[in-house]
Amino acid sequence: MSDTGEAKEDDFVLPFQVGDTAVRGRVVRLGGAIDEILSRHPFPHSVNVLLGEAAALVAMMGAALKFEGKLIFQAQGDGPTPMIVADYSAGGALRATAKVVGDVGEAVGPSLLGKSHIVMTIDQGADMERYQGVTPLDGASLSQAAVAYFDQSEQIPTAVRLAVGRISAPGEPEQWRAGGIMAQFVPGEGGARERGEEVLMSHDDQDLWDRANAFVQSAEDDELLDPGISSETLLYRLFHEDGVRVFDRQEIRADCSCNSDKIEAVLGRYGEEELSDMVEDGVITVTCEFCRTPYRFDRSGARLAE
């Protein structure tokens, strides 16, 4: 493939395969979607960076879902930011939020969470059993923590690079951007395995994977964030020696699943006294933790007309 003339749109995941090998991966580029998600929250800069990384990671992982469902990434700890949550729904809906309870100071990355663990949940719908994996959050970055998760929970050789920052185009205000690339060694036909089994690599496989891993780690932040560098160009730079094929893009959008009907149903479970304690200035106001949309209800928990 050529490294010129490619589309440079934002807010998508681009799957790829290195030549005809078992190395497959995805690139994510988030512009307006991540700016909309992060700009809704009054979080410190370092928290927004970590939250943006979580959103980029869950988008890359969730884009691999083969069913109508949701992938939920949650990290919980005992630090000044004890929780971050990001989820991706089939079809490209992405949202994320965090909880900040103390002064984050100079903390960055996973240190914001303190001693923590990752919970990955695959929700296949109300009639299907959830799959959940829990691992300690190891590593100095979320990229390293993700690799450790796959190593411990899925036992799939994985490489991840993530980047988040604020960038301004000429004549335009600064906006949040996020980007990422992940690659995995996924045996194809004849190499299928059950979850949890070790991947058996030949010497040539190991050399191939080591090279692919090194190429992923060599991706620079500006290559992941600069809207002038397309995903196709990035992949060509990294893997042109082995060849690289790309597949259909999957669009991503900032989209929250909250609505007044769901909240009204929750309020309906409370008694009169509990509802009374929620009333301020004559109404009950519930604000979504993800998108910060406020919903208003009367003293009985009934929805008020807008």
- Domain residue limits, the chain: 12-254, 260-297
**Angle at which helices 32-39 and 45-62 cross, to 10°:** 130
pTM of full prediction above 0.85: yes
Cβ atoms within 10 Å, residue 191: 13
61: Cβ contacts below 8 Å, ≥ 6 apart: 71, 73, 88, 120, 182
Looking at residue 112, the DSSP 8-state letter turns out to be G
| C-alpha atoms less than 13 angstroms from C-alpha of 35 in its C-beta half-sphere | 14
Q: By the 8 A CB rule, do 158 and 183 touch?
A: yes
Instruction: Calculate the dihedral angle through the C-alpha atoms of 284, 289, 291, 297, rounding to the nearest 10 degrees.
Output: -10
Distance, in Å, from the CA atom of 118 to the CA atom of 122, rounded to the nearest integer, reads 13
Tens digit of pLDDT at every position of the chain (306 positions): 434 344 447 999 999 999 999 999 999 999 999 999 999 999 999 999 999 999 999 999 999 887 788 999 999 999 999 999 999 998 999 999 999 998 999 989 999 999 999 999 998 877 777 888 888 988 789 999 999 888 887 788 999 999 999 988 777 789 999 999 999 998 764 444 444 444 567 788 889 999 999 999 999 999 999 988 999 999 999 999 989 999 999 999 999 989 999 999 999 999 999 999 999 989 999 999 999 999 999 988 888 876
Please tell me the CATH code under which domain 12-254 is placed.
3.55.30.10
Q: Which two tokens stand for residue 57?
A: 């990671």
Residue type, 181: I
CA-to-CA distance for 50 and 110, rounded, in angstroms? 8
Considering only CA atoms, which of 111, 112, 120 is closest in space to residue 146?
A: 120
Residue type at position 175: Q
Judged by DSSP in three states, 281 sits in coil
Give the residue from 157, 138, 125 showing the smallest Cα distance to 75: 138
